[in-house]
Structure 1
């Protein structure tokens, strides 16, 4: 007889029964340095900007926040915490927060280094703009999405 854990293991889940939020909590704790603090701060700001944001855990260990589509990811590297906005190239960035992945046609990222100060209001505005863009893409009438 299979247990729930065995069934999950066989279905391809390698993370056990932990929720995405619990996995993000664990990542913050395991980092235990400025990167964990920064990831926690970013997470808090995302939740403030969009209380309906859904936390996900994708690509074997990347925190993702979504609302009607991906808002951004929160990747952690040795020297940087990177927030990658899935549709960042389509967002207005009047405060100039985007400082990475600027060459592409779709994504844009914010690299946060140790000691950097996050412009919280500008970041929350960018998050809200990303959600609005996702929502507008979802609510467009089907006829406007079709090519003639």
Structure 2
């Protein structure tokens, strides 16, 4: 999964989501892509061996498809780590984004 594909899925799932780059620093001058709608929904980070999709309030979201596979012990957030060759259930991912937006609006 590329960052561009993740970005496209996020923006497509919730048209009123706002994308921004935050947390710019010397080692990452482009910053971290963040997606917000009435609060932070998720971030997309690129590492050498993976793309990490972190949901700010992931612990409070239903994940019947079992997409979350990282930060499972975190108090509030949950993440999806994708490595080269991994296939993401795009329909379930889009639903997770919509649920995160709904949670922010509740």
Matches within 5 A, 1:83-102: 83-102=53-72
Matches within 5 A, 1:105-116: 105-116=75-86
Greater strand fraction, Structure 1 or Structure 2? 2
Query: Aligned partners of 2:17, 2:2: CA distance in 1, in Å?
Result: 18
Deviation at 1:122, TM superposition (A): 0.3
Matches within 5 A, 1:1-148: 38-60=2-24, 61-136=31-106
> In structure 2, what is the equivalent of residue 9 of structure 1?
none
- Structure 1, gaps ≥5 residues long: 1-36, 137-148
Q: TM-score, normalised by structure 2?
A: 0.92
Deviation at 1:84, TM superposition (A): 0.5
Deviation at 1:107, TM superposition (A): 0.4
Greater helix fraction, Structure 1 or Structure 2? 1
What is the total number of aligned residue pairs between the two structures? 100
Structure with more relative contact order (C-alpha pairs < 8 Å, separation 6 or more): 2
Query: Aligned partners of 2:93, 2:54: CA distance in 1, in Å?
Result: 12
Q: Secondary structure of 1:46's match?
A: helix
- Structure 2, gaps ≥5 residues long: 25-30
Q: TM-score, normalised by structure 1?
A: 0.66
Alpha-carbon RMSD:
0.8
